[in-house]
A = this chain, B = another copy of it.
Amino acid sequence: MHVETISIGSELTSGATVDTNASWLARQLARLGLAVARHTTLPDSMGPLVTHLRTLSTNPARPALVIVTGGLGPTLDDITREAVADAFDAPLQENADCRQVIEEIFRKRGWNFAANNLRQALIPTGAEVLPNPRGTAPGFYLARDDVHVFCMPGVPLEMFGMFTEQVAPRLRQLTGGGTVILERVLHTFGLGESTVGETIAAHMERGRNPEVGTTVADGLVSVRVRARAATEAEALAMLDLEAQALAPLLGETHIGNDDDRLPQVVARLLAARHETLAVAESCTGGLLSKMITDVPGASAFFIEAAVTYADRAKTALLGVPADLIRQHGAVSEPVARAMAEGLRSTAGTTYALSTTGIAGPTGGTPTKPVGLVFIALAGPRGTTVAQLNLPGDRDRIRQRAALAALNLLRLELLKPE
């Protein structure tokens, strides 16, 4: 089956949800054995979407599956309904059930009913309604001459639910099984992409099955393994085998797979050992703490964080001697050490992590340039301090510093007790 996804972007400038949707859908479709041949983002005006949908009728690849996200909202620039109706000659009709559902949502939540919401009850003739229990915009499914078009709202949470509950079961029926493509991603931290690629070069030949590639995202270099097989069990076995071969090559830099990134790995190790953590942040300004508490259940081991942005806070909350800061500067090895040790002692936790550095864009000096960061880990076996010289802008320096601190803790937790 030829598979395409389309995002209706607000003139392509609206930001992150477009790609969140496209990548999420690509992963879900892969699990159903469907590889996305192309993703297209179109502006929120009728013409380009109508043209794009019409070219599907001249494309000989059949059956074809097209999943459109976005453009189903209540406002005039939400054009997906009209474009599909136009491209497939399926005039819009008000759907009484949809109208009732929308009116009820507004009544229940006590919102003022804005009349333009009724636009969301319009559905192309012949289309099947896909209910949306998480929002006001229903989706729909239109099948024409072996071209299957699914339209879903662009709000990720609503789309994820609608795909899982409404679209995936219909796709399973349409495809009737066939090839299964499964993917596993091995995340690494500490080496550059080209070094990782060189390390596993023998696995990265084109045309292999499983196929292996590398990507860089969110501060990690990740190795992506994709297996094609007749059944899920077979594909899974192939992934297991390939991961077993790759892991020793990646060694200690291999932090985890799929959704298992540094915060999740550290959380699991700490919870298993019934140990606790506190965090003293300066340059990362709450990011390290935020990453840790992104993990549901972090309260089992995470006691507190002190974001001591001002020097006086470092002294008052962490007991860092004012003299030490005067002598070495807030961004220094001794202050990073004192922050971690001070917090570990007042919070009474097994471990304490600290960060202090110059995230920029200003504040750098010749001896302490932007990107200079000290991270420290205080624990039962003493304190470790590491100096980092990070490239990039403020966001990237903060992200890398927080990840490096988590990795310092991960490596400590992996040592034999």
Using a CB–CB cutoff of 8 Å, the interface residues on chain A facing chain B are 5, 9-20, 22-23, 26-27, 30, 35-45, 48, 52, 73-77, 111-112, 114-117, 136, 155, 157, 183, 192-195, 197-198, 201, 204-206, 213-218, 222, 224, 226, 279, 281, 284-294, 296-299, 302-310, 312-313, 316-317, 346-347, 360-362, 392-396
Contacts and interface: CB of A to CB of B under 8 A. Distances in A.
A303 B309 contact: yes
A213 to B, nearest CB: 4
B19 A18 contact: yes
13 contacts: A10-B213, A10-B224, A11-B224, A14-B23, A16-B19, A18-B23, A38-B41, A39-B42, A77-B204, A286-B288, A286-B289, A286-B307, A287-B293
B215 A10 contact: yes
Given A289-B285, A305-B305, A11 B195 contact: no
A217 B18 CA distance: 10
A22 B197 CA distance: 26
How many monomers of this chain does the complex have?
2
A22 B41 contact: yes
Nearest to A391: B134
Given A12-B36, A19-B19, A73-B193, A310 B304 contact: yes
Contacts of A115: 198
Contacts of A224: 10-11, 13-14
Nearest to A312: B303
Nearest to A317: B304
A155 B217 CA distance: 9
Contacts of A298: 285, 309
Contact of A26 (B12, B16, B294, B303): B12
Nearest to A206: B76
Contacts of A396: 157
Given A36-B43, A155-B216, 13 more contacts: A10-B224, A13-B30, A15-B19, A19-B19, A38-B42, A45-B206, A75-B193, A114-B194, A285-B289, A286-B292, A287-B290, A296-B361, A303-B313
Nearest to A199: B114
Contacts of A392: 157
B299 A304 contact: no
Nearest to A46: B206
A159 to B, nearest CB: 13
Nearest to A196: B75
Given A11-B26, A75-B197, A197-B116, A307 B293 contact: yes
A299 B394 CA distance: 14
Q: Among the interface residues A11, A224, A312, which one has the most CB atoms of the partner chain B within 10 A?
A: A11
Contacts of A75: 193-194, 197, 204, 213-214
